Amino acid sequence: MAKRLTTQVLSFALVGGIGFVIDASVLTLLSTVCGVNVYLARVVSFGVASLGTWLLNRKHTFEQRSINDAAAGRQEYLRYMSIQVAGALINLGVFSSLVTIQPSLAQVPVIPLAAGSGIAMFFNFFGARYWIYRR
């Protein structure tokens, strides 16, 4: 059981890393290459990255728990997106709190971003494991 949990956490983290690359790539492409407003580009990049991580997590991280029925799959996706949005809000909250508490972190935003991402990742993982893919 502990080995399976560790494997799932590592797989989830790897998929999250892939999601980050998708997110950053789409955001950069839309905002700098295509000239789309950065906030609109961010909404689109979040959606694309979340779709990608949902597909990868259901195929690799939680494959034994995924549902292959189309209607159930849509419900699974809606639950996944609700967890992703909650995780994004946690990430933003941690980021904002750290920058408020320690303003010098605004000069190195990757530090509060990493802290927020790490905390949100665990929230997202346990939400996925015990709500989205519960069996």
pLDDT in tens, 27-64: 889 988 999 888 888 889 999 999 999 999 988 898 77
Q: Over the chain, what is the mean pLDDT?
A: 88
CA distance 123 to 12: 12
Residue 135, pLDDT score:
67
Indicate if the pLDDT at residue 65 is higher than 70.
no
Counting the structural domains of the chain, the total is 1
Q: How many CB atoms lie within 10 A of CB 133?
A: 21
Q: Identity (one letter) of the amino acid at 80? A: Y
The pTM of the whole model exceeds 0.85: no
Residue 39, pLDDT score:
82
Domain that holds residue 106: 2-132
| Lookup: tokens for 82 | 């609700």
- Whether the CB-CB separation of 75 and 58 falls below 8 Å is answered with no
